[in-house]
Each structure stands twice: as structure tokens, then as C-alpha cells.
Structure 1
Amino acid sequence: MMAFQDTIKFIQDKFQSKDFIPLHAPVFSGNERKYVMDTLDSTFVSSVGAYVDKSEQMIAEISQTKKAVAVVNGTSGLHIALQLAGVTRGDEVITQALTFVATANAIHYTGSNPVFLDVDYDTMGLSPRAVSDFLEEFGEIRESGTYNKQTGKRIAACMPMHTFGFPVHLDELLQVCNSWNIPLVEDAAESLGSYYKGKHTGSFGQLGVFSFNGNKIVTSGGGGMIVTNNENLGQKGKHLTTTAKVPHPYEFVHDEVGYNFRMPNLNAALICGQLEQLDSFLANKRKLANEYADFFFESQGIIFRKEIENTKSNYWLMAVELEDLEARNAFLKETNEAKTMTRPIWQLMYRLPMYKDCFRDSQKNAENLEERIVNIPSSVRV
């Protein structure tokens, strides 16, 4: 008998399948087809179209921000958000090593260097204490910004990632960043529909970025969105992501180096249909999370990861914590062999060859979580 047979059976029962159960499959049960066909009929399938504008308006409203900018994917959104926050070549950006590679890659695209600091055990996201300790030891406030005394580089931004939709301790992190005059840019790629003290993630920093990749809670196939409460930054973001083209009836005038990061109207139509169902998706996933929490409460050696006080998670990817690395590997092997997809948390960024020489602190919590956290099937059930 398999050690995790009860867990596998529970998941199969919840998804009413003994065939392959994916980690997070998209659900298209609303107006997606209608809106996509509308773009085909209109012939406006590229980067200009009514659904691009509508998707930006919808995300601004959902995220409680003043301006949203649709982009081709979340990674490009992070790249531009960092640039808008003032990050330039040779700077440093504080972030976490326990994250998807896009977080570190976006920092690299700006020509700056990631500084990997530890996460909090309860949120799995960037620890305000770790950031404060780092800055107390290495930070120095100068007229032109905060600098790393050891490297001489400017610390240009701090970019936490809301892991699996669990918000980081935003009040404390903002307090640290503000006291050191460091802009906060939220990697909110996984947290659409998540709240911290009643306020949506992505709306706390100078800028935030969401992802609409195929495995996200809502999807446009690809796609992402930059959000901000600074309308000037929002307008600048729109300009940069649309090749920095100056509006003109027919002339091609570009006033700086821009990027072709525009979301096509075809994809925007899809996300509009998905966003109309966000509330029902969130309720559906919360029901599943509660069922998992009740089940794993009785299980020996497995902890279901739940939202913490003063937060509301979207439960994008649901996660369990195993006793140790050996138990984690056994769980992964047995569930996947049973066609029930599970996945380990990411390798820490400094284990990857391109980031092995970046600064990191002790990473006590991150390394502990890396050995124990596994994602389990989290799709909206239909």
C-alpha cells in the first residue's frame, strides 16, 4: 500500500477523476468564446482594440489602483515596472530567492543585480526582518539614494513576491522600505484576488504586476498587467510598452528606446471573459482549500498551508508541507505515478548557474521550505 494512498484517493474524489489530474487547468465557462469571436469579426486582433482598454479598466478596478497597463506577459511587466521605479544598470534590487525565475530574470533585464534575502516561514514571501537586518548592516543613505556600503552599488528597489497568492507582511515591509527611501515594486503575478488588511495586493508599492499565464487563476493564454496609483508612471509605462511611439495620425515618431510588450486585443478579449468570473473562481477555490485543510488536519506529517491573519489568499496554487526532503520526494513520486500532478516549490535562485554569485543571507527559512513544500491540484472544479 502506498504511503500517500489516502491523499491520492481524496484528490481523485474531489476532482471526480482517476485519469490525469493537472495542477491548475484553465476553465472557460463564460463569455470568452463570444469576446474572442468579436475580435475576429472586427479584425482588430493585434495591439489596438476595445478589449485592451476594457481589460485595463477591469484590472484597475479589481486591484483598487488608478492605472493599469496590459502587457504581453508578467515577466515583461516586472521588467518595465522596475525601470519605471528608477532601476538602472549596475543597481541592486532586493528580492527573495524562493521565487519563480521570472522575478530574478526581470531584475537582470534592467542590468541590475538581485540581492537574495530570506522569506518568512508563515508567508513564504520576503521577510521584512531580513530586509531590515541587511540594510542595518550594509545600507547607507546618501543624497542620491540608498547604497550598499560593501559593493558601492545603489539599492534601487525592493521586489517581494506574493508566493502562491499568500501576501507578504506588507505593512512591515513598507515601513522598512520607506525608512530607507527604497521603492517597493510588488511581484503580484500569483496573487490576483488576494488581499492584505482588506486592500488588494499590487496596490501597496509604487507599482505591482499580475500574470495571466495559462496556469494562473484567470488566463489570457499569456499576458500580464502593470498597476499603479501614480498616473504619471502609468502613462509612462503605457508609452514604453508600446514602442515609445508618439501619437500621430500617420507619422512614425519614437522618442526613446521602447519595448514591443503590447497585449494583443485577441488575448485581452479572453482575459475580459475570464475576469468576469473571477469572484466565482475565487469562491470555488476557497471551498477546495477548506476541504483540503479539513482533510490534512487529520493527516500525520502533512500540513496544509493556509492564509494568515489579516490576509485573504486567492489560493492560486495550494500547498502542503511535508516532514522533510525524503518525505517530500516520496510524496512527489507516488502522486505523480498515480497521475495526480504535484510539484515541488522552485529551486532557490542562487542554486541556478546564472545567479550563483549573487549576494544572499542565511536563507534559513527558504532552505527549510524548499525541502518541504509541494503544490497539489488546485484547479477550479466545474
Structure 2
Amino acid sequence: MRQSELFSKVSREEPKDEISVNARLLERGGFIRKFMAGVYVFLPLGWRVMDKINSIIKEEMNATGATELHLSVLQPKELWDMTGRWKGLNEIMYQLKDHSQRMVGLAPTHEEAVAWLGKNFIQSYRDLPKAIYQIQVKFRDELRVKSGLVRTREFIMKDLYSFHADASDLDRYYKRVGEAYLSIFKRCGLKPLMIEASGGAFTKDYSHEFQVLSPYGEDTIVYCPKHGWAQNKEIAKLKAGDKCPLGSDQVTEAKGVEVGNIFRLGTRFSKDLGLTYKDKFGQNNLVWMASYGIGPARVMGTIVDVHHDERGITWPDSVAPFGFHLIALAGGNSKEGSKIKKASEQLYKKLSELGIDVLYDDRDGFSTGEKLAEADLIGIPLRIVIGPKTIAKGSSFVEVKGRKEAKPKLINVNSLIKNLTKLKNKRPVKNA
């Protein structure tokens, strides 16, 4: 993609009304724009990152045997009254009257809807197990919206729901999804901890959260780094310095960001909505259910909280908006500028033909310092520069620099193309 065609602008100024690191960097880098408190617009660069996070999520969800669908956000009060959550969640659920004075709500989660849907398709033990998921916009009237993409009123959610004949089958799939979640977060460049937490409004049983240690986190985690034991402080009976339940080491406390959660729902929603199946003996049984959530936008914000430096964002390869950033610098005179432009256009054409995921900064009127500073802020993993220094060596050379590297390297264009072709299968290759 040509940067001159990109609907985005980098800002030198810090957003005045943003406290969180992720929101400040993402706004300055032209990834998002704040629309109102707790609501953000995803600009093209930000949406490319979101698309890559979602692609990883979908790949891992599909591998568990789940299939994707799309559920309605607008739901009737009567459905939620059946579980008692219309009243139970009224502080965070947007609830309103339609033109006929019927009460409806914007679902912040979909357990009621999938239990209703299950009644339409699950009648026999032969219909089990099943798992369905979606990625869609949801709404929650949050009181605290000061953490950028980590806590918003309008948010993107991947929610997975599974149906089972008994508790043992549920536990088997629950464990499988937990492993898939760990894989998702690791592939996104994060180091997740799977911890025990409260079941909240979903279940009386413990749930599991997936937390990423971060000084910007809202939760406090009590954990043992050596043995992997971890709990949310909300339910923990241990405190920092106490002995780990799995060994002689001491547990410690740290701040964390919750990026996902999984709940054993048991038969709670099945009982309330009458979701049953006939077993092989013709007896009616309640369907066992579980739900599993990931906030892709929250993952994006957490990635930025973890992967940044004093110059800007340092995206992991797997979720970067582009794999490579080709930059044409201004020439000292018109003749030099023409040579730079010609060499840059030729390389961009070649990379595009090879399917290389590249953002080409072809903009005129920007100084070398401005272009390089903006590139650091945007944070694409590898920078390829053509300018006066490379042209002086001949049109067959470029400067290449990794985002986290201190100094660029002078490389022959043919060698660069050969190396990038080898890397193509390891980096995102879909070009806009």
C-alpha cells in the first residue's frame, strides 16, 4: 500500500484526554481515533492489526472443532428474564424500549441466545458435542473507561460456546480451548498466565482468566513463577511471601491485564431455558454448556502496552499492520530526488509482485527526520530506506533496519529480495 493513499495521519502531539499508554501510542500512530469516552474508531492501520489478531483467533478456534456464526446483538427482555440476568446485569447492559414500548437490550454476552438457539438444533445425544463462536461488536456501560482499548463501552468480542452431554465431555473440551487460548496469546507476542478467578455472573464455579503481566494492568495476580500456580487476588487466600501450594517457593503479586476468560456454565442456562437432549435410552437430560471469551481489541491494546519503547510501538511480526516499511527519503536536489523516486518505485513494484506485505512511504514534502520518526512510531518490524546515502552507492543498494535494532545495514537489492522471498511464508503476506 502507498502511504500517500492511506487514510491516516501520525500526530506529534500526545492526546490530551488519554491516560493509557496503548491509547496514546495508537492515536498518535494513526491506528485509532477516540470518538467518545469508551468508544474508538479503528482506522485502516488499526483494522489491519485487528484483522491479523482475528485471523489467529479463528485459526485456533477452528482447530478445536468450533464453527463460526453471527448472532443478534439486539435481544428481547423476556429471554434474559428467564435467567434473571436482565436485572442482574442492568448496571452494565444497555436496556431500552423500542417504538412499540417493548423492552430490548444490547447483549454484552450471548449465553441466553445460544441456549435458545441450541433448543432449535439439539434434540438427541447424536447432536452432541457442538461448539460455535463469533467475532462481533458488543456493548457494555462501563463506569471506568480510562485504559484505552483495554476497557471500552463498545468493544469487539470473540465468544465461543460449547454444548456437551455430560461434565466429563465438557471438561475435555474446556481443557482443549484453554490450550488454544494460550497458543493464541503466544502467537500474538504475549506471555499469558492461565489463572483461577471468580465465575462472576456466569457460574458459581471458579473460572479461568488469561492474564498478561503488565504495570498498566487493572487486576492483581497472586502467582508462583516456578510452578505456574496463579489466582486472581479477588479469590486468593494467599498473599505475597506465602508458600506456593505446589512447592516450597514463595508466591508473589503483580499487576495483570485480562485478555481472555473461560467459564464452565454447567447446566445453569440449559435449566433456565429448557435446553435438553434425549440420551441413548430415550431419557431427557440437561445439556452441559461452557463459554469462552477473548477481546481482540483488548489484546491489541495489551500488545502495545507490552511492546513499545520511547520512540513508539514495536509490533510483533505476527500482528504488525505490514511486515515491511519501504521509505523513500527526500533528495538534496531534483536530480538526486528523481533517482531516489525511481529506485523506490521499482522496488515497490517488485515487492508487490512477490506478494510482500509492504507499506511504501511515497509521500513528498516530508523531511528525513519526519519520515523516520513516524516510521518508528508506527512500529512496522522491518524498515527499508532508499535515500541520498544509498543512491550514492548506486541504485542497487538499500538500508535495512529492524525496528528494535540500533543501526541500519547497507544491503544489495537483489539480496534483499531473495531474503524477503524466503521470509514471505513466515510473515503476513496479504498486501492491500
Shorter-chain TM-score category? Answer: under 0.3
Select the structure that is richer in strand.
2
TM-score, with length taken from structure 1:
0.25
Larger Rg: 2
TM-score, with length taken from structure 2:
0.23
Select the structure that is richer in helix.
1
Higher relative contact order (CA 8 A, sep 6+): 1
